[in-house]
Structure formats: C-alpha cells, structure tokens
C-alpha cells in the first residue's frame, strides 16, 4: 500500500520561500491564505537563524476528521487528508482540533473580485475555493494523481523537501527517514511530515508552534507567512 509523506531537511532550507510561492501559484488560494508557510527561528543559544517549512502534516490519525460534524474531512488510503468544501459548513471545529494550526478559512473576497469570478468559471477544481469554507494543503493531490511531485517539492531549489512513498523500501524518503522525526509527536496524530533537525532546535521549534497556537493561531489568527521567533 502507498503511504505518501514529506521530509523537510532543515540543514538545506535557506528560507527562500519558493515553496510558499509555488504553492500559492499552483493552488490560487485567496488573500491571506497560505497553505505553506515559513517559520523563522532565531536562537541566541545556537547563534543562528533557521527556517522551517510548515504546512498540513497529513496525519495518519488526524484529529480534524473526527472533529468535523459534517464528515467533510477524510483520509485517503494513501494517507492524503482532504476537505470536501461542498460538505463543509464552516463550523470551525476542525481548525480548533488541529494540533498544528494549519486549517484556514477561505476569505469572502478575492484579489480581483470581478475578474476572479470570470476566471473561476474555467478554473480547475483544485483552484476553486468556496468563501467561508475550511481549507488547507492538499499535498497537491491533483499533481500526485498524475505522477508528479507536489508543487512545493518540485519548486524547492535547495532540494530541502523529499517526497515519496514510505512503503517503498527503495525510495529516497525511506533512506532518509531514520534521520528525521515529527513535530509534536506527543499529540499522537502520527503526522506524515518529518524533519531532519538537531535535537536542541527541535525543542525550540515545537515551543514556538505551541506558543502561536496558544495565541489563537489555529482559528482566529493563522500562522503568518513568515513568523520570526527570538528563542533565548
């Protein structure tokens, strides 16, 4: 059975944000909606700045699925977690249940309202985002189903993102998996995005994410496109 996952090698990430822009261009998300984000972690102790690509973790045990009262969120056999916007009634329980704060609410206004309406009539389904409905990274399922990598992976100039099938013993992601680990593993959501990162920095990143979530990032204030944390 296929199980898709991504490894983020923070030793290679330069914070160039190409993955962020590739996702935005590919999926044409609305104003203020960023399915891919870059967290900037500044540490006096480590005397450096690190960049962290951050998006939906496509968990094996996704809390958002059980939290949705409409049954609008599902996990495919290959591990990709998707939101059915037709079923979504915008209750917001999914956003509150997500331990990573990555579910966003589509805005009611587009970038160019009149022009946008014309474009949407001919746009592919993956670029149609219903106002007021929950949305998040789809792992570019429309590309994967055609044998392509997600846009963020394909666009990364530093090759910091490794995409593949965890069940393929010969895949590059399996080769790198022993060096990687998940964020917030204690939440027991079994995420399928892993990070190659030093132990001390791992702790700083997890604390930064927790701090943002406590501030309400999971629903009212989504994690910013580029958040800067000063970790002393």
| Domains of the chain by residue range | 4-231
Q: What is the pLDDT of residue 175?
A: 94
Average pLDDT over residues 48-58: 90
Q: What is the pLDDT of residue 226?
A: 44
Distance CA 72, CA 80 (A): 14
pLDDT at residue 115 greater than cutoff 80? no
Using alpha carbons, select from 196, 141, 146, 192 the residue that is nearest to residue 167. 192
pLDDT at residue 39 greater than cutoff 50? yes
Contact 6, 192 (CB under 8 A): yes
Distance CA 166, CA 60 (A): 12
Token couple for 180: 């990687």
Banded model confidence at residue 111, pLDDT cuts 50, 70, 90? low
Average pLDDT over residues 204-227: 57
pLDDT at residue 43 greater than cutoff 80? no
Q: 32 versus 114: which is more confidently predicted? A: 32
Using alpha carbons, select from 171, 190, 231 the residue that is nearest to residue 48. 231
pLDDT at residue 216 greater than cutoff 80? no
Spell out the residues 6+ positions from residue 100 whose beta carbon is closer than 8 angstroms to its own. 54, 56, 57, 183, 184, 191, 209, 213
CATH code for residues 4-231: 3.30.70.20
Distance CA 176, CA 231 (A): 28
The alpha carbons of the chain give a radius of gyration, in whole angstroms, of 17
Q: What global pTM score does this model have?
A: 0.87
């Amino acid at each position: 059975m296929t199980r898709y996952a991504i490894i983020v090698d923070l030793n290679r990430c330069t914070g160039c944000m190409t993955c962020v822009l590739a996702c935005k261009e590919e999926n044409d998300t609305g104003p203020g909606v960023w399915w891919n984000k870059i967290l900037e972690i500044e540490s006096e102790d480590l005397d450096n700045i690190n960049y962290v690509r951050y998006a939906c973790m496509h968990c094996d045990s996704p809390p958002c699925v059980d939290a949705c009262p409409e049954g609008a969120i599902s996990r495919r056999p290959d591990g990709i977690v998707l939101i059915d916007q037709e079923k979504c009634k915008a209750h917001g329980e999914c956003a509150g249940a997500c331990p990573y704060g990555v579910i966003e609410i589509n805005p009611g206004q587009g970038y160019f309202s009149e022009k946008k309406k014309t474009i949407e009539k001919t746009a592919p389904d993956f670029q149609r985002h219903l106002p007021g409905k929950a949305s998040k990274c789809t792992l570019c399922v429309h590309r994967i189903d055609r044998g392509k990598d997600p846009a963020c992976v394909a666009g990364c100039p530093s090759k910091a993102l490794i995409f593949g099938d965890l069940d393929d013993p010969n895949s590059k992601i399996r080769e790198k998996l022993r060096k990687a680990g998940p964020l917030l593993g204690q939440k027991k959501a079994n995420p399928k995005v892993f990070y190659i990162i030093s132990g001390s920095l791992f702790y700083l990143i997890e604390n930064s994410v927790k701090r943002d979530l406590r501030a309400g990032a999971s629903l009212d204030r989504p994690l910013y496109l580029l958040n800067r944390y000063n970790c002393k």
